[in-house]
Structure 1
Amino acid sequence: MKGVLRLTFLIMGVINCSLSKGAESWDLLVKKADSLSTSNFSKSVAFCDSILPFTNPKEPWRGVFTSIRGKAHYFKGNYDLAAKDYNEAIQLLQRGNFQRELGFAFIDQAKLYRKIKMFPQAIETYAKADKIFRTLKDENTLATVLNEWGVVYEFQNDFDKAIDFYSQSLKTRIKFNDSLGMAYSYSYMASAYLQKNDFKQAEELSILSLQIFEKIKNQFGVAIQSSDIALMYESKKDFNKAISYLTLSDSIARSFNYKDLLSENYRRLSTIYAQLNDYKKALKLYQEHIIIKDSLYNSNTQKNIADLYVKYETAEKDNQLLQQENKNAKQQITILLIGSLLAIVSILTYYIYRSRKLKEEKLKLETQNTLQNDRLRISRDLHDNIGANLTYINNAVQSIPQEDNQIKNLQSLLNETIIELRRTVWLINKPSVKLDEWIVKLREYYLKVNEVKLSITIIENEESILTSKQATNLFRVIQEATNNAIKHSQASSVKVSIQSENNILMIVIKDNGRGFDQNKAS
């Protein structure tokens, strides 16, 4: 704890000096915090936490340090805290219209989305960063965006598109003689070629990337690239080289407690030793992988407890008690206000719900009345106009001598049409039909059709209701099926079985027709 306090007082002194020297000193603090975010994550978080209280929301620094703190949380494996910091930083920078700083925050946020496999969100966020740095004509940072963006397509197995992004980035790195950028571009390209099983190209680019990282003494890059090279040798079953590079990566990652990389390295080492039949070592490494992996999910809780401990341990007892009393009083007031607010919201919600329900019921009733009036109007028109005309035509045909077969067929057709019209008017005129009424109509229809026999079993109450639409459609289905059977299958007997039980209506239609070969039917 003394170390934390010493760091806090030191930073406060630096900030006080910085305030008098202007933006140049703030830039130095940003570089320091950003450097720590990839080498000493906990120290970077403490550094940012100490600076943030002295920043002005109207200046870019608060958003920048919040974003850097998010990056440190990201490398610690605290993804929820990283997401929270990135969102806060982006809101601060957008309000202040700090475009360059906003672009860097988008890059880091997109990397988090990529890490947790939210690929559409990652692509969308990289596009925002790309737009900002194109507007600013910042080619160097654009190259970073292209590298990061390409990884998303690599994860989605679009390796050619990923390599295209990496190549564009590499051209810019070479143009500006950016050694660090070239190292990352070579690393990304090697990974994509490895996925394409081009081991020769992958090995050349991987070694080149590692040599540059070592030359510029970038330990973070060495750790990442060593792990990637090991993956290539794992694919080639060259386990000795894979173990050598993973061990190098592990030693560096352990020095700055990069848990995510450590966990992944142990998992892969465990798999390698299992393939070498060294199951004891494989088990031990896998257990270490699980321990670190679990800690990634527990570290957030541990940090909250540690922060509370430091906060209350360093405060004076009397002041602590006073603060606790004030806190309790505020909590009671807050609870009371929240309770009152919830009550008001509940009442308003119920009122709105009730009003909407009444309106819906009223509208439903009006709609039903309109539909019923339309049904009555249509049924009257059918009965009074078309029905009267058909009756007149039928009477006229009846007066013609029935010696001609065509006249007989015409009379029969007219009778059937009049019966069908009456049935249709009956269905239209009723918004709903009882099951027993519908069956009566069905029996009447098939009285004159000798080939069709009805078998009806109703186990439940015959008062079951069908809507007018259901009654019409079911009637038409049975009518069409029996007509087709008689007409096309040359059936002499068609049996229609209707069963009603447990609110389920089952209709089975069978005939003794000639049938057909399903395999030859077109």
Structure 2
Amino acid sequence: MMTGRNLSFTLAGLLVSFSCLAQVPSSTTSDSLLTYLRTHASTDTTYVRVMDKVIYTRIYQKADYARADSMSRQMADVANRLNDWFGVVRAYRNRGMVSYLTANYEQALGHFKKTLDVAEQHNLPPSVIYGALGNVAVGYEKVGNDPMVLQTALKAIQLQEQYNLRPRVPTTHRLVGGTLVKLGKIQQALPYYREAGVIFRENGDLRGIAIFENQLGDLYNDIKQPQRALPHFQECLKLGKQLHFELLQFDALDGLATSLRMLNKPGEGLPYAQRALQIAQKEHNKLAISTIYATIATLYQAKKEYVQAEDYLKKALALAEENDYKDERKKFVQQMADLYGEQNKYHLAYAFQLKKNKQVDSATTVRTNAEVQRLVAKYETEKKEAQIKLLQQETLLRRQEAERTRFMLIGSVLLLLLGVAASAWLLNRSKLRRLEEAQTLRKQIAHDLHDEVGSTLSSISLLSGMVNGLIAQNRPEQVERAIQKINTDARQILESIDEIIWTINPGNDSLHRIALRLQEYAQPLMESKGIEFRFTVDASLDQFPVPMEVRRNLYLIGKEAINNLIKYSQATQAVLRFEYQNEQLKILIEDNGKGFEPDPSSQRTGQTSMHQRAQAIGGHLAVQSAPGQGTRLQLVVNP
């Protein structure tokens, strides 16, 4: 969802990734380009390039989005006819930008995917594919598909590193960092944010540096550290003034106001918010105006000045509804419900909460109401017909009542007894099955806790008892080693419990989640050993749920193989690939290390355990290796 604090950042992230764009034409140049289009036929690629520059001007100088989209459609047709695949990519890129800037993110993602499809299908240079991947990742971010953000952005980063592409784009690192923050993995996110800052400075991009400072401020606000956010927003504001970048100044001022509200200083935040409102009104940016109205409302709410808060929030909501800013509208409605709730106006809070929860659009509602009316009318008709039939049947029953009463009574009793018996049998069977499943799960959790946690806790207990004696004996070196061992064991317990919780969590019951979990486990280990790591996963795997036991064994096999690779292979390159082919899941882990001579009778490196786990889930594990020729491990399973 686009907020006031990232209006300039998201736009700049896309612009940077479009490294193939030409410089912005001047007004004189733009006029001459239009003259060229009017006086020349669309018979060569030069015509397509000129169209691209004119469209660029329409988007970024004149904000004429409707005309830019129309010309981009024409540009795509001409480029397709000329087999100018670079031109086709640029045309769909422009259409994606128009959709993006008009907050139609689903449509923008579709256009960005088209640029990637064309670039890959026609083997365009890696730099073009790199930029397309970055924009697809931004599209996934806007529609809230976090797994695909990570997959696409990491793929772009790997491509850049593989071909040493320059200039690098900071967008992909920022996306990975931002997604990890949303998943609560702050420490894993920080290196990606730092690398994004390095890239901005590496490119000598003062504008990018300023935007990055704003993003860092947002990050610290998101993790509830507003005091650390303030200097970043202040630096962003200074650079925004130096660059005469109004939207960036707006973002910084909005961020400062938000930070001060979080620090319980809403009075100090109001002047910043009012300055941001002046900029938004000067730029005639309705999205920014609605956003800063909402920020001002939160400041007045923090000051307990509810009348002003309600007034500004109503203005924000009215703008969002008028311009169909769907994400902002949902956020402001929720904010309104919270505001009324804080004032104990529960009837109003309830009304807005219902409005927030109602996700069906008006067209669907109309269709639903019409369907309801049709069903009601049908029901009334059928009810009347049933009443007529019932009267007829009652007349007939009266005539036969004497003969049938006894037989009906006997039959009803028998049917009732049979129904009770069948219901009892089914209920007991269902309860037994649920008890068996619960017992199996409890045994599995107990077994895992005993094996993976119990022995380590015993070790910590023994070491803790030793420390006091070592301190009394004045043996500091042994004390330090014992404490380090306790720290190591404690981390191991945390990792084991995290894996157990992940395994039993039904939200992880998909092959795609297993793949991402293994990548998350392998990436830092590979980096620590300087191994170039490539990870690919078939996106369709998200459609396949798997039972807990299968998921657990798949993960442990992959984890064991990765540990073996790290410990023994001495590799410089490694691949982890998840594929779905011919209704079979194939997991490949391959390296270019020193290899070994396979020995079926050997118990080395946990191979026996991996084979047993593969058999337990009906799979087949094949290990291929030879001295000096690396190792290839492939697991094939029918999900």
- TM-score, scaled to structure 1: 0.51
**Superposition pairs for residues 303-342 of structure 1, below 5 Å?**
334-335=582-583
Quote the Cα distance in structure 1 between the aligned partners of 2:242 and 2:350. Answer: 48
Residue 430 of structure 2 is aligned to residue 182 of structure 1? no
Opposite residue 43 of structure 1, the aligned amino acid is Q
Residue 345 of structure 2 is aligned to residue 263 of structure 1? no
Name the counterpart of 2:104: 40
- 8 Å contact 2:72–2:91 — kept in the other structure? no
- Describe the SS at the equivalent of 1:37: helix
Name the counterpart of 2:261: 194
Quote the Cα distance in structure 2 between the aligned partners of 1:151 and 1:128. Answer: 17
- 1:214 Cα deviation (Å)? 2.6
**Superposition pairs for residues 267-278 of structure 1, below 5 Å?**
267-278=334-345
Quote the Cα distance in structure 1 between the aligned partners of 2:149 and 2:221. Answer: 23
- 8 Å contact 1:194–1:232 — kept in the other structure? yes
- 8 Å contact 2:76–2:91 — kept in the other structure? no
Equivalent residue for 2:139, pick from 33, 55, 72: 72
- 8 Å contact 1:189–1:202 — kept in the other structure? yes
Quote the Cα distance in structure 2 between the aligned partners of 1:130 and 1:83. Answer: 19
Q: Residue 133 and residue 349 in structure 1: after superposition, are their counterparts in 2 closer, same or farther (change >3 A)? A: same
Q: Residue 275 and residue 150 in structure 1: after superposition, are their counterparts in 2 closer, same or farther (change >3 A)? A: closer
Residue 226 of structure 2 is aligned to residue 159 of structure 1? yes
- Describe the SS at the equivalent of 2:244: coil
Quote the Cα distance in structure 1 between the aligned partners of 2:229 and 2:600. Answer: 56
Equivalent residue for 1:221, pick from 284, 288, 298: 288
Post-superposition CA distance 1:250-308 (Å, at most 9, x none): 34445676555443322221122234444333223223334559xxx9xxxxxx99xx9
Quote the Cα distance in structure 2 between the aligned partners of 1:58 and 1:291. Answer: 46
Residue 158 of structure 2 is aligned to residue 91 of structure 1? yes
- 8 Å contact 1:70–1:85 — kept in the other structure? yes
Quote the Cα distance in structure 2 between the aligned partners of 1:207 and 1:278. Answer: 28
Name the counterpart of 1:289: 356
Quote the Cα distance in structure 2 between the aligned partners of 1:106 and 1:64. Answer: 13
Q: Residue 336 and residue 246 in structure 1: after superposition, are their counterparts in 2 closer, same or farther (change >3 A)? A: closer
- TM-score, scaled to structure 2: 0.42
- Describe the SS at the equivalent of 1:86: helix
- Describe the SS at the equivalent of 1:269: helix
- 8 Å contact 2:73–2:91 — kept in the other structure? no
- 8 Å contact 2:137–2:149 — kept in the other structure? yes
Post-superposition CA distance 1:170-189 (Å, at most 9, x none): 22111111111111111111
- Describe the SS at the equivalent of 2:131: helix
Equivalent residue for 1:144, pick from 192, 205, 211: 211
Post-superposition CA distance 1:409-457 (Å, at most 9, x none): xxxxxxxxxxxxxxxxxxxxxxxxxxxxxxxxxxxxxxxxxxxxxxxxx
- 8 Å contact 1:210–1:222 — kept in the other structure? yes
Post-superposition CA distance 1:372-409 (Å, at most 9, x none): xxxxxxxxxxxxxxxxxxxxxxxxxxxxxxxxxxxxxx
- Describe the SS at the equivalent of 2:230: helix
Name the counterpart of 1:109: 176
- 1:336 Cα deviation (Å)? 7.0
Post-superposition CA distance 1:200-228 (Å, at most 9, x none): 32111112112212322333333332322
Percent identity over paired residues: 17
Name the counterpart of 2:118: 54
- 8 Å contact 1:123–1:152 — kept in the other structure? no
- Which stretch of structure 1 is more off in the superposition, 162-171 or 103-112? 103-112
Size of the aligned set, in residue pairs, is: 315
- 1:117 Cα deviation (Å)? 3.8
Q: Residue 203 and residue 53 in structure 1: after superposition, are their counterparts in 2 closer, same or farther (change >3 A)? A: same
Q: Residue 198 and residue 139 in structure 1: after superposition, are their counterparts in 2 closer, same or farther (change >3 A)? A: same
The structure with more radius of gyration: 1
- 1:356 Cα deviation (Å)? 6.2
- 1:193 Cα deviation (Å)? 1.6
Quote the Cα distance in structure 2 between the aligned partners of 1:96 and 1:164. Answer: 37
- 8 Å contact 1:229–1:245 — kept in the other structure? yes
Residue 121 of structure 2 is aligned to residue 121 of structure 1? no
- 1:235 Cα deviation (Å)? 0.9
Quote the Cα distance in structure 2 between the aligned partners of 1:98 and 1:358. Answer: 39
Q: Residue 15 and residue 116 in structure 1: after superposition, are their counterparts in 2 closer, same or farther (change >3 A)? A: farther
Name the counterpart of 1:376: none
- 8 Å contact 2:270–2:299 — kept in the other structure? yes
Quote the Cα distance in structure 2 between the aligned partners of 1:90 and 1:182. Answer: 30
Quote the Cα distance in structure 1 between the aligned partners of 2:99 and 2:231. Answer: 32
Quote the Cα distance in structure 2 between the aligned partners of 1:353 and 1:176. Answer: 67
Q: Residue 230 and residue 81 in structure 1: after superposition, are their counterparts in 2 closer, same or farther (change >3 A)? A: farther
Q: Residue 276 and residue 287 in structure 1: after superposition, are their counterparts in 2 closer, same or farther (change >3 A)? A: same
- 1:65 Cα deviation (Å)? 3.0
